[in-house]
Structure 1
Amino acid sequence: MAKKEKSEYIIQAVSHALDLLEQFHGDVDELGVTELSKRLKLHKNNVFRLLATLESRGYIEQNRATENYRLGLKSLELGQTFIKQMGLLRQAKPILDRLVQGCNETSYVAIFKEGHVVYLDVVETDLTVRVVSRVGSRLPAYCTAAGKVHLAYMSDEEIDALLPSRELKGYTANTFVDREVLKKELRQIAEQGYAIDNEELDLGVRCVAAPIRDYTRRIVGAVSISGPSMRLPDERLEKDLIPLVTHSAEDLSTRLGYHK
């Protein structure tokens, strides 16, 4: 008997349920049956049955005041289980703690996914003025320190595939919007081993990041320090923060089996 492709085993109802859960992303907190019906191109009765099933298992809950639906605690638990199971994060936590103790600025561990950088964990500074936590956020790689660290070690062909348009979106006056100028910046990052976000995504915020490698020598993430630009002048970056973040990234890489 011929072996079937895995796509032939897909259960449509399960696929629709996952499609529904994926509608709650970014700034989308709540959605009603009508809006979900439009997005999923399904009849309202089918959407309601999917919602009822997911609600019974805790993956969706209804806001009784608005009658709209939002993600339930079970979705959070599932995501947290995934994060805890990642060896990268288990190893990163004590290093982030030590990094914040050394500079008292907010520190992250992040990964690269489909042209974006995704922040997986954070240890925050205890200072009143701080950068808003970005855990779980997907941000454009080309204007973040953690993202540029990943792009810096890619080939021109890989970068062109990820950034197909020559003119990139400018978030601030400091964003690298020309792809060729960005590539020049990335070559410099690859030579020096760290990247700086000089208010390229958010005005008033600077970041510095260094790559994390595993036993295959592949870059699997980045360690970064973020803070208000008034606390991260060039002198402090050069003297304190760059050595701290590069040492932390090297330490974490060693724990993941990387050897120079």
Structure 2
Amino acid sequence: MRQQSSPVRRYQIEVVAKAIDVLEALAGHPQGLSLSEMAARVRLPRSTVHRLVCTLQVKGLLVQATEHGRYALGLRLFQLGKEAEPQLAKAALPLMKELAAKFKETVSLGILEEGEVHYVLQVEGTHPIRFAGRPGMRGPLHATALGKAIAASLDRDLVKEIIAAKPLRKFTASTVTQLAQFWAELDQVRRNQYAVDREEQLEGVRCVASPIRGGDGAVAGAISLSGPAARFTDKRMRAILRELVPACLRISGLLGHPSSR
């Protein structure tokens, strides 16, 4: 359970907190969990978990995933998550504008949707030669900085399922298509809190990105800066990252992530 300040904890409703614990236990397990597995993860009696699951199921927040009694997150929860996107955009936009003004490069906000990066917000750069994307476009998880920043924060089993459905397609000579190399890169992204795309989706375009986390600690999205490879030297990317990573931590704090406040 998340640590909260004592005035807030004094007013929390224990059964609601337990229900949220059950939902969080299922996060990252798209194949579902049994009642016994959930009970072990949240450290509650199986009978208590069963009552919570029945209530969450009635509300559409959980579904019975298989006839073998495994449960998974329900569609209603994802619908609620979609409704929370404006909050993410509202928190991110001011800092995206600051980054765009400072570096004059295109700044993008992306989220995970159906195994791909969905670009939901963009502040276009002002350089005459610049990356010109658009909100609504999609990109591969393995060949974009946004995708790698998000993937590194996901449960590995979920990433495996995404790769099984959307294999590591080659876009350019620089695209990572070997699974072992991809896992190693995600490990590095996790340590550094940023990802780099060196012309891996588009020839001549480089990109850096850093993840954003929500109040529950799960990745909510990522922010990237993109531009021509000739301008995105290693030195300039390091300068951008010195501003980008703290900016994403600040946005995470605005969304309630405790370690980012």
- Identify the TM-score tier after normalising by the shorter chain: 0.5 to 0.7
Contact 2:175 2:200 in 1 (8 A): yes
Is the aligned partner of 1:144 residue 2:162?
no
- The residue identity in structure 2 corresponding to 1:150 is I
Q: Describe the SS at the equivalent of 2:130.
A: coil
Change (3 A) 1:123 1:164: same
After TM superposition, the score normalised by the length of structure 1 is 0.65
Structure showing greater radius of gyration is 1
Contact 1:83/1:120, CA 8 A, preserved across alignment: no
State how far apart, in whole Å, the 1-side matches of 2:85 and 2:177 are: 37
Q: How do residues 180-199 of structure 1 correspond to structure 2 at under 5 angstroms? A: 180-199=180-199
Superimposed CA distance per residue, residues 219-258 of structure 1 (whole angstroms, 9 cap, x where no aligned partner): 10101100111111001111x1111110111111111111
Unaligned 5+ residue runs, structure 1?
A: 7-81
More deviation in 152-161 or 240-249?
A: 152-161
Q: For residues 1-260 of structure 1, what are the structure 2 equivalents within 5 Å?
A: 86-164=86-164, 168-238=168-238, 240-260=239-259
| CA distance in structure 2 between the partners assigned to 1:150 and 1:180 by the alignment | 18
Q: CA deviation at 1:83?
A: 8.4
Q: Percent identity?
A: 32
Per the normalisation by structure 2, the TM-score is 0.65
Structure 1 SS opposite 2:117: strand
What is the one-letter code of the residue matched to 2:213?
R
CA–CA distance in structure 2, aligned partners of residues 111 and 165 of structure 1: 18
> In structure 2, what is the Cα distance between the partners aligned to 1:139 and 1:257?
27
CA change 1:156–1:243 in 2 (3 A) is same
CA contact under 8 A between 1:100 and 1:124: conserved in structure 2? yes
The structure-2 alpha-carbon separation of the partners of 1:85 and 1:151, relative to structure 1 and needing over 3 Å to count, comes to: closer
Provide, for residues 118-153 of structure 1, a one-character-per-residue CA deviation record: whole Å limited to 9, x for no partner. 111111111110112231011111100011011112
Give the whole-Å Cα distance in 1 for the aligned partners of 2:129 and 2:219: 32
1:159-202, Cα deviation, whole Å (9 max, x unpaired): 21110179621000110111121111111110111000110000
Kindly provide the CA deviation profile for residues 56-77 of structure 1, in whole angstroms up to 9, marking residues without a partner as x.
xxxxxxxxxxxxxxxxxxxxxx
The alignment partner of 1:241 has SS state of helix
Aligned residue pairs, count:
181
Flag structure 2 segments of 5+ consecutive residues without an equivalent.
Answer: 1-57, 60-81
Indicate how the Cα distance of structure 1 residues 84 and 158 shifts in structure 2: closer, same or farther if over 3 A, else same. closer
Q: Structure 1 residues 125, 160: CA separation in 2 closer, same or farther (over 3 Å shift)?
A: same
| 1:83-114 deviations in Å (ceiling 9; x for gaps) | 89710111111111111122111101110112
